[in-house]
Every structure is written in C-alpha cells, then in structure tokens.
C-alpha cells in the first residue's frame, strides 16, 4: 500500500464530506450551516489542491481543475458570508445565506467530479 496515495485519497474524500456537511440544511437558515465547517472545507480543499499538483496525467489535470473550482467557490462563499454578516446588516440575511449555500453547492459538484475522476483513475491502474 502506498501511503502517499492513501493520504491523497483521504484529503480528496474529506474535502467532499466537509463540503457536503456544510451544504446540507435549509438554504435560508444560517443556523443549519456552521461557519467553522465552511472554513474547514476551505482548508481541506486547499490541502487537496496542493496534493494534486505534480500529477502529469490528463485525469490528474482534470482533478486539479475541479479542485481549483471547488476552492474558488468556497472562498467566494466565505466572502459573501463575511460581507453579509459584517457589512450589510450585522447578521447574515436569508438572501445572503442562500448565496453562500448556492456557492458551496457549486463547490460540492466540483468535489463530486474530482472524486469520480479519482475512482476512474484508481480503477484504470493495473496490478
């Protein structure tokens, strides 16, 4: 067993599960979405993105691009949350929360694509 592949797969799967955990809940209710879970998803997605650098296959390039999309979506969600909570009203409004959750949904889709590509690449490896 290759420990680097295990660590790589761990962070890719953790990025997906943290993003999904943040996404689940009522789209307008800030109580259903934890800000710390969003930040954890951003950090783990950044780690997974860094681990994808250096991959020279076409699937590796696709995984890197989907990871970059996920990171950008989650960072945009954090910016919208910060703007909505600190600039607009002092507490995040339902409309701002809907934008945050929608951006995280796009990142979730990119993470799903990344995991799917990882499974395809893993199944293509011959022993």
Q: How confident is the model at residue 126 (pLDDT cuts 50, 70, 90)?
A: low
- pLDDT at residue 127 above 70? no
- Specify the pLDDT at position 39: 95
- Specify the pLDDT at position 5: 85
Considering the chain, what percentage of its residues have pLDDT values greater than 90?
57
- Sign of the torsion formed by the C-alpha atoms of 10, 11, 13 and 17: positive
Q: In whole angstroms, give the CA distance from residue 100 to residue 29.
A: 11
pTM attached to this predicted model: 0.89
Domain positions in the chain are 3-124
- Specify the pLDDT at position 106: 96
Alpha helices in the chain (DSSP H): 3-23, 35-52, 58-83, 94-124
Q: In whole angstroms, give the CA distance from residue 66 to residue 113.
A: 7
Residue 118 Cα distances to 6, 15, 88, 122, angstroms: 12, 13, 40, 6
- The CB density around residue 63, as the number of other CB atoms within 10 Å, is 26
Residues in Cβ contact with 73 at an 8 Å cutoff, skipping those fewer than 6 apart: 103, 104, 106, 107, 110
Mean pLDDT of the chain: 89
State pLDDT tens for residues 35-87.
Answer: 999 999 999 999 999 998 877 788 888 999 999 999 999 999 999 999 988 88
Mean pLDDT of 88-112: 89
- pLDDT at residue 33 above 70? yes
SS3 107: helix
Axis crossing angle, helix 58-83 with helix 3-23, rounded to the nearest 10: 40
Mean pLDDT of 98-122: 93
Backbone angles phi, psi at 66, to 5 degrees: -70, -35
């Amino acid at each position: 067993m290759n420990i680097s592949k295990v660590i790589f797969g761990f962070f890719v799967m953790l990025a997906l599960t943290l993003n999904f955990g943040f996404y689940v809940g009522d789209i307008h209710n800030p109580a259903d979405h934890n800000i710390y879970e969003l930040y954890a998803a951003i950090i783990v997605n950044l780690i997974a993105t860094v681990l994808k650098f250096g991959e020279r296959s076409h699937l590796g390039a696709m995984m890197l691009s989907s990871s970059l999309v996920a990171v950008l979506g989650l960072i945009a969600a954090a910016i919208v949350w910060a703007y909505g909570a600190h600039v607009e009203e002092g507490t995040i409004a339902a409309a701002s929360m809907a934008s945050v959750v929608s951006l995280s949904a796009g990142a979730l889709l990119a993470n799903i694509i990344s995991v799917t590509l990882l499974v395809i690449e893993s199944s293509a490896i011959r022993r």
